[in-house]
């Protein structure tokens, strides 16, 4: 199994995405996680461009990056200048990283238009910069910017830029598909041609403007590249960089290449979620391999098949990448979806019981409920089928009032009366809206019996109008998301009354919290006490 080296540029190229901005602490945390995962190279940023990256490299020297080599990124020397006087090259050396990656022009069009330099001067800039960095003991990578475009426009000159870097001692020549406009067969053919001319190891750096960033990277490996550059979750400028969370499993599981160990590969889903959390972006549920829906099955025929053999509708075992198989329950489901979901909770349902649950779900979805985005409501429904299960609380009544007072402005008040075991609890609360007031009143009524509810908090509240033609009397669907104890869950309610819909979702969320955080047995014992 041949080795492919992984080069992550999330901390530089990834942060060029317009809605990402990382602190130095964020970058250090991600760098450590990348090293723990098994990356060979981690590009930390451009120390000559901003104080944040300078601070990062100073503090990164204290990290234990294991096998990973930290790379500082910069450019070749300026035209008509010297390396010794070039502030960018000096900043690269001051970063004290074992690896330096410098970008240079490989397209004659860019040399003339962007650099306003002669073709020979650009070659001298490449040679001088690589040789200078090598003389200071660095492993040097030359990123040949716009290489594929340059190769098609002027093959001889594009190759000349690579040879200039190679002759100066570059350890890697990275072919950059900078504009993201090429297709896989073009990339593979060009890499094969370059491989015939150049003996220095090749890498590839692709962007995703045609949606082919991953495919182009894999094609480059087929053509002879031994290093792949990209970012976690495909973060990057414009539509993004080649997505390493897709590339790595494809290399290892589909192409027979060695990228990381099998144990490390099982951490890739966790890594993807971790980086998404740090950059403060919602994780993409439908991402290949690592998405929440990557191995989710909704169609009844599909689920019926995977209950017999999982590989009938799955291309790999999801455990190989740290993910898991799921069954999605909706009006399109069959009994198998219900039985699969119940089995994952340790509940065995015969066909008759599953059919009753399925009929109930289809009836609820006709009334506006949805369980695809509210799996906690679905799971709660199945828990209630357990013979030993007792509801932790029972609603008696609630009152919600919203009024505008001259002295205090808009005010919402709610009272909630619930039964916990044999005791009736009554609480009132104010809130900045009717749902907030109701939530506060209900939780206040329950926390004396269930202190664990103090640790949960509402993080999202969504309302969707289902039949807008009916105006203010329309049916609405409410989705409420809570988090607590390291878990996040969503429940659903539907009604022509937004408060009632919210109550259903809210009470389900708190009941589910007690199952998830306290356990069903604890609920039962507390309720009966």
Overall CATH class of domain 394-528: alpha beta
What are the boundaries of each domain within the chain?
Answer: 5-279, 296-366, 394-528
What is the structure's pLDDT at 492? 85
Strand (E) positions, 207-249?
227-230
| Coil, strand or helix at 186 | helix
Cα–Cα distance between 518 and 501 in angstroms, integer? 26
Q: Is the dihedral of CA 53, 56, 61, 66 positive or negative?
A: negative
Are the C-beta atoms of 424 and 417 separated by less than 8 Å? yes
| pTM attached to this predicted model | 0.72
Cα–Cα distance between 333 and 352 in angstroms, integer? 15
| Coil, strand or helix at 197 | helix
What is the structure's pLDDT at 182? 96
Are the C-beta atoms of 300 and 334 separated by less than 8 Å? yes
301: tokens are 């025929």
Cα–Cα distance between 126 and 328 in angstroms, integer? 55
494: tokens are 């539907």
Are the C-beta atoms of 316 and 351 separated by less than 8 Å? no
What is the structure's pLDDT at 391? 83
Most distant pair of Cα atoms in the chain: their distance: 89
Strand 202-206 with 5-8, pairing:
unpaired
DSSP line for 321-383: GT---EE--STT--HHHHHHHHHHTT----HHHHHHHHHHHHHHHHTT--SSS-HHHHHHHHH
What is the structure's pLDDT at 70? 97
> Interior CA angle at 217 toward 214 and 219, to 5°?
110
311: tokens are 């590989």
Residues 6+ apart with CB under 8 A from 376: 489, 490, 491, 508, 509, 512
CATH classification of 5-279 is 3.40.50.300, yes or no? Answer: no
CA distances from 489 to 138, 242, 289, 375, 516 (A): 49, 31, 22, 7, 10
Tell me which residues of the chain have a pLDDT lower than 50. Answer: 330-332, 520-529
DSSP line for 386-422: STT---S-EEEEEEEEEEEETTTEEEEEEEEEEEETT
Cα–Cα distance between 174 and 77 in angstroms, integer? 18
Are the C-beta atoms of 184 and 154 separated by less than 8 Å? no
From the list 386, 281, 267, 249, the residue with the least C-alpha distance to 322 is 267
Rounded to the nearest 5°, which phi and psi values hold at 102?
-120, 140
Q: In what order do the strands lie in the sheet with 457-465?
A: 457-465, 476-484, 487-495
DSSP line for 66-77: TT-EEEEEEEPP
Tens digit of each residue's pLDDT (9 = 90 or more) over 96-109: 999 999 999 999 99
Enumerate helices (H) and strands (E) in the chain, giving the number of each.
19, 16
Question: In the 8-state DSSP scheme, what is residue 207?
Answer: B
Tens digit of each residue's pLDDT (9 = 90 or more) over 383-414: 777 777 788 888 888 888 888 777 767 888 88
């Amino acid at each position: 199994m041949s080795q492919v080296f992984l080069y992550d540029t999330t901390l530089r190229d990834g942060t060029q995405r317009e809605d990402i901005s990382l602190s130095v602490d964020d970058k250090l945390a991600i760098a450590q996680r990348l090293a723990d995962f098994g990356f060979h190279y981690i590009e930390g940023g451009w120390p000559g461009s901003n104080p944040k990256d300078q601070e990062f490299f100073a503090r990164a020297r204290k990290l234990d990056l294991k096998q990973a080599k930290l790379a500082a990124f910069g450019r070749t020397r300026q035209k008509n200048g010297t390396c010794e006087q070039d502030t960018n090259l000096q900043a690269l050396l001051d970063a004290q990283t074992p690896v330096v990656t410098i970008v240079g022009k490989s397209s004659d069009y860019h040399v003339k238009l962007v650099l306003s330099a002669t073709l020979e001067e650009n070659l001298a800039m490449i040679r001088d910069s690589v040789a200078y960095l090598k003389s200071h003991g660095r492993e040097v990578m030359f990123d040949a910017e716009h290489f594929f475009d340059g190769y098609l426009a002027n093959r001889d000159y594009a190759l000349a830029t690579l040879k200039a870097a190679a002759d100066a001692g570059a350890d890697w020549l990275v072919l950059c598909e900078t504009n993201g406009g090429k297709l896989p067969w073009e990339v593979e053919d060009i890499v094969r041609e370059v491989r015939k001319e150049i003996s220095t190891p090749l890498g590839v750096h692709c962007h995703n403007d045609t949606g082919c960033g991953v495919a182009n990277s894999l094609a480059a490996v087929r053509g002879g590249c031994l290093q792949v550059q990209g970012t976690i979750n495909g973060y990057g400028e414009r539509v993004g960089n080649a997505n390493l969370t897709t590339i790595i499993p494809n290399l290892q599981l589909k192409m027979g290449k060695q990228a990381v160990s099998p144990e490390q590969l099982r951490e890739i889903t966790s890594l993807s979620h971790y980086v998404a959390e740090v950059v403060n972006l919602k994780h993409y549920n439908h991402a290949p391999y690592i998405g929440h829906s990557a191995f989710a099955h909704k169609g009844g025929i599909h689920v019926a098949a995977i209950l017999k053999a999982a590989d009938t509708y799955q291309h790999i075992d999801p455990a190989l990448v740290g993910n898991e198989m799921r069954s999605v329950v909706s009006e399109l489901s069959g009994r198998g979806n219900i039985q699969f979901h119940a089995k994952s909770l340790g509940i065995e349902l015969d066909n008759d019981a599953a059919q009753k649950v399925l009929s109930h779900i289809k009836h609820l979805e006709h009334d506006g409920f949805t369980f695809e985005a509210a799996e906690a409501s679905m799971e709660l429904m199945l828990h209630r089928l357990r013979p030993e299960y007792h509801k932790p609380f029972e609603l008696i009544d609630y009152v919600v009032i919203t009024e505008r007072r001259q002295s205090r402005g808009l005010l919402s008040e709610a009272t909630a009366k619930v039964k916990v075991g044999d005791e009736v609890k009554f609480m009132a609360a104010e809130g900045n809206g009717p749902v907030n007031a109701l939530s506060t009143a209900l939780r206040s009524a329950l926390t004396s019996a269930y202190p664990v509810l103090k640790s949960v908090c509402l993080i999202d509240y969504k309302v969707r109008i289902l039949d807008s033609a009916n105006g203010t009397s329309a049916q609405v669907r409410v989705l409420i998301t809570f988090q607590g104890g390291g878990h996040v869950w969503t429940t659903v309610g539907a009604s022509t009354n937004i408060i009632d819909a919210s109550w259903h979702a809210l009470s389900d969320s708190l009941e589910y919290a007690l199952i998830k955080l306290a356990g069903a047995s604890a609920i039962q014992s507390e309720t009966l006490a």
